[in-house]
Structure 1
Amino acid sequence: MSENPLHRAIYLTGPTASGKSAVGVHLARILDAEIIALDSMTLYRGMDVGTAKPTTAERGGVPHHLIDVLDPWESASVAEYRGWAIDAVLDIESRGKRALFVGGTALYLKALLRGLFDGPGTVPEVRDRLEAEAETLGDPVMHARLTALDPATGARLHPNDRRRVVRALEVIETTGRVFSELQREHAQPAPASTQVFALEPPRPVLYDRINKRVVRMFEAGLVDEVRRLKTAPRPLSGVAEQGVGYRQVVAHLAGELDLDQTIDLIQTRTRQFAKHQATWFRGLVEVRSLPVAADEPPDVTASRLEVVVRI
């Protein structure tokens, strides 16, 4: 059995509106598992309608972890989420249960499967000298220096991103190796035994579900939810406010969009987001696609998954 608790867990992912939450509950019952939310937005208390957070009834009596752990004015790094996720897996396993991650935040999924790359430790005297050079010579000169030494990282970073450019130059100077090479070495896939499944309904079906879900969100009070969040004593964090749906309703409340325009824009942005998610998942070799027919009930999908999940 893997020593890394995150590699012992089971993962159920897929684009938004692909049916993950319902299938996850059925699968958790079959496997005697508890669910850990793999979602950057359902972390927030009070952000329920716009995140399609499963209700108590929809959770079907299955314990769910890492839901409602932050206030809307707070934010968490990927590293913090990963730490919470490890604690949740160990807690679940201590009760003799299995851990089942369910959600579609691709950046979180990759961090859980492959870890996070922070690079070697900082050497203050080197960092300080490079910062001073950047101040004297200017950002374009420092970026050109980096591009000459490490073209891949230079192409990825904006010339004005002084902090990251200096960090990349610091790594080269202190290790004798380029940042992009160290990153490639670190980004090793999880062991082949790690079980990661992505639901994949037909795209026209997915887009139709997205369009209908957005309409249901407005019927369920999305505008009132955003108004309440915006008038709270403390402002929404940048992360929370930039969530698909929330950003557009904020614009609507500011008088920039009428209601029909807002609904249409959220539907468009959500479809684009779903396409982006699917691309991400295809790019991770750990992920096994599970095609799902348009009319397949969630319990049937879960039963199919049970057959391929290694006990």
Structure 2
Amino acid sequence: MSVATRDMRAHSGLLDKAVLIAGPTASGKSALALELARESGGVVINTDSMQVYRDLRIITARPSEDEEALVPHRLYGHVDAGVNFSAGAWVADAAKVLGEARTQGRRPIFIGGSGLYFKALTRGLSAVPPIPAEVRDSVRARLERHGVEALHAELAARDPVSAERLMPRDRTRIARALEVVEATGRPLPDWHRDGLPPLLPPGEFSAIFLAPDRDQLYARIDARFGTMLEAGALAEVERLAARGLDPLLPAMKAHGVPALIRHLRGEISREEAAEIGRADTRHYAKRQFTWFRHQLPEFEWVAPEDAREWLQSRIS
């Protein structure tokens, strides 16, 4: 698309609305977004919390380099695995990319499976400030030294509302809630009340959730994990494991990563690791269905085979 054409379409209002494409893993989101971007001169913006990590191209099924060369792709692989990347950090990056897309007259196409990212995009986000590294390190040291039950008890004394909401063995969320109250002196629910406005208010986007048949989806998930292994996922995880990163970091908990690390240590066989990875991914897909149904009802559920027609009806 020429610059003149983009300018004309932008000023005519054809590119005002962003398109949000969500759905469970392996539902065909990336192919749909790529096709839409090629047809409309759009930019594909990653809205998946694992595909932000540059260390995890294969195991997270990121678009290939050839696919990324076809249309602009943003926020893919731009974060090091050693970073505890948050939804707030993603929103800040997404705001810049959204501004660039509108300046260039390109349709923003947000695509991914991370419900929290989409909720932050369309509903806003709590205004929790960055947590100092020394506070995070202190909380994690106590977690390793005393165990998650002790930290949950500490959280119950300092932030009883969060403690009641969290499962007593949810290591990541308990540590996060403690980090916030320790760093800011305010419990997490207080920050949630004083939130940041959404990047895309109602009326500025069309949102679709790809809802494939469950049995067919699970079969695709199983097949794709095998394909990823054949494509070098194990070597990718081996390079990640060699860095000796904190196992609580998000990148270290990507589906398939913990099990493949166990295989590399000789604890389980490759096939056992693969089956754990497949099962974890299937369970995650099930949670994605539930989360979007209850948390983001503004997304219209569409079968993948009907998605192209749905998009044409919304943006033509």
Query: SS in structure 1 opposite 2:67?
Result: coil
Give the Cα–Cα distance (whole angstroms) in 1 for the partners of residues 256 and 114 of structure 2: 16
Give the counterpart of 1:70 among 53, 62, 79.
Answer: 79
Q: Report if aligned partners of 2:18, 2:109 keep a CA contact under 8 Å in 1.
A: yes
Query: SS in structure 2 opposite 1:57?
Result: helix
Residue identity in the other structure for 1:27: L
Residue identity in the other structure for 2:300: R
Give the counterpart of 2:59 among 36, 40, 50.
Answer: 50
1:1-311 matches, cutoff 5 A: 8-59=17-68, 61-118=70-127, 143=156, 155-156=164-165, 163=178, 179=189, 183=193, 190-192=201-203, 194-232=205-243, 235=245, 238-283=249-294, 284-292=296-304, 296=305, 301-309=307-315
Q: Report if aligned partners of 1:35, 1:65 keep a CA contact under 8 Å in 2.
A: yes
Residue identity in the other structure for 1:89: L
Give the Cα–Cα distance (whole angstroms) in 2 for the partners of residues 118 and 27 of structure 1: 33
Q: How many residues align?
A: 271
Give the Cα–Cα distance (whole angstroms) in 2 for the partners of residues 230 and 73 of structure 1: 11
Runs of 4 or more above 3 Å deviation: 139-147, 157-167, 178-190, 234-237
- Structure 1 residues 171 and 199: CA distance shift in structure 2, 3 A: same
Query: SS in structure 2 opposite 1:44?
Result: coil
- Structure 1 residues 278 and 180: CA distance shift in structure 2, 3 A: farther
The structural deviation recorded for 1:36 is 0.4
TM-score by length of 1: 0.75
| Unpaired segments ≥5 residues, structure 1 | 2-6, 121-138, 173-177
Give the Cα–Cα distance (whole angstroms) in 1 for the partners of residues 196 and 88 of structure 2: 15
Structure number with larger C-alpha Rg: 1
Q: Report if aligned partners of 2:44, 2:73 keep a CA contact under 8 Å in 1.
A: yes
- Structure 1 residues 142 and 248: CA distance shift in structure 2, 3 A: closer
Residue identity in the other structure for 1:205: Q
Q: Report if aligned partners of 1:72, 1:236 keep a CA contact under 8 Å in 2.
A: no
The structural deviation recorded for 1:112 is 1.0
Quote the sequence identity (%): 32
Residue identity in the other structure for 1:91: E
Query: SS in structure 2 opposite 1:265?
Result: helix
Give the Cα–Cα distance (whole angstroms) in 1 for the partners of residues 256 and 63 of structure 2: 17
The structural deviation recorded for 1:255 is 1.4
C-alpha distance after superposition, 1:232-273 (max 9, x if no partner): 4x6367111111111111111111210111111111110000
The structural deviation recorded for 1:96 is 0.9
- Structure 1 residues 145 and 286: CA distance shift in structure 2, 3 A: same
- Structure 1 residues 281 and 141: CA distance shift in structure 2, 3 A: closer
CA RMSD between the two structures: 3.5
- Structure 1 residues 220 and 157: CA distance shift in structure 2, 3 A: closer
| Unpaired segments ≥5 residues, structure 2 | 1-9, 11-15, 130-151, 169-173
- Structure 1 residues 290 and 187: CA distance shift in structure 2, 3 A: farther
TM-score by length of 2: 0.74
